[in-house]
Structure 1
C-alpha cells in the first residue's frame, strides 16, 4: 500500500536540494519535495489524511494510520516569528483529511521579515528509495500530488 503525499500550498515544486537550510537540503530528517509558495495569504493544507502529530504555527506533522509521517515546514527559520502571522485551524491530536486547512499564513509577510517562504514537505525517517513519483518542478496547486510513499 502506498500513501500519496499532496502539496500543502499552491506554488512551484522544487528539489529539496534547493532549500536554503542543510537540515532539509541534505535530507537529514527525510526525503521529500519543496514548494515555493505563491504570494499572498493562503491556507496550508494537510498533505495526507491522518492525525496531527506535531503542531506549531510554522510547521506541522500529519501521521497516517499506516505510520507514514509527513512534515510540512512553512518557510525557513520561521520559528523566529513566534507564531506572528500564522493562524492555526486544528489542534495536536486532531484527525484530518488530506486537503483540510491546517494553518493560514502569508508567504509574502514571511519574506518581508527576511525569511525564505519555501516549504519543505518531508517524509520523516525514510530513505529516498521509499519515495516514488516525485514532482520536483512545475506549478502545483494545494492538493496536487507531490510524491508517493511506498508501504505507508
Structure 2
C-alpha cells in the first residue's frame, strides 16, 4: 500500500564529457571503422588529435587500461562507462608509442593526464589517429547529446552530455 510512497526514486544525474584530446571533432558516423561508425560499442564522438596527450573527460574511476595502452575505460560518477580509444587498429602496435599515466582503480578528475602517445608513430603505423570517445553503456542512459563543436581543447570543451 505504501510501496510507492516510500520507494526510493531513481536519481537523474547529468554529466558532461569534455574533449579527451586537443584537435578537431569527427562525427562518430564518419569514423573509418564500422565498429565505431555504426555505434556497435555505443554512442559518442571522435577527435582527430592535434597532439599526443589524452586527459580524463570526466571525474571517475579507471576501470580498464588496455595492456597495449591504446585505450582506457572510465566509470563516471553517474554510472556512465566511457571508453577512449586512441587511433584505429592501434592494438597491433603492442604498446609502441604509448605511455599510461594511470592504472586500474585510480580515481581521476576531469583534465587529469591519462595516456601520452607519439602522434607520429600512431600516424605512420595505425589505420588512423582519430580517437573515439564512447559511452559503452548507452542503453542504460536516458539521453546522450552530442555537442556541435569543431576545434576543441582537451579537458575544457564539452562534447557529450549524458543523462541517466
Normalised to the residue count of structure 2, the TM-score between the two structures is: 0.85
Q: Contact 1:13/1:135 (CA < 8 Å) preserved in 2?
A: no
Residue 160 of structure 2 is aligned to residue 147 of structure 1 = yes
- Which residue number corresponds to residue 47 of structure 1? 57
Query: How do 1:1-152 and structure 2 match up within 5 A?
Result: 1-38=13-50, 40=51, 42-56=52-66, 57-127=69-139, 130-132=143-145, 134-143=146-155, 144-151=157-164
How big is the shift at 1:113? 1.2
Task: Work out which of the two has the higher radius of gyration on C-alpha atoms and give 1 or 2.
Answer: 2
Q: Contact 2:147/2:161 (CA < 8 Å) preserved in 1?
A: no
- 1:32-67 C-alpha deviation (Å, 9 max, x unpaired): 0010111x4x32001111110111200011101321
Q: Contact 1:5/1:47 (CA < 8 Å) preserved in 2?
A: yes
The alignment's C-alpha RMSD in Å is 1.5
Gaps of 5+ in 1: none
Gaps of 5+ in 2: 1-12
Q: Which has the higher contact order (CA 8 A, sep 6+)?
A: 1
Normalised to the residue count of structure 1, the TM-score between the two structures is: 0.91
Distance 1:70 1:114, change over 3 A: closer
Q: Contact 1:33/1:135 (CA < 8 Å) preserved in 2?
A: no
The separation in 1 between residues aligned to 2:17 and 2:126, in whole angstroms, is: 29
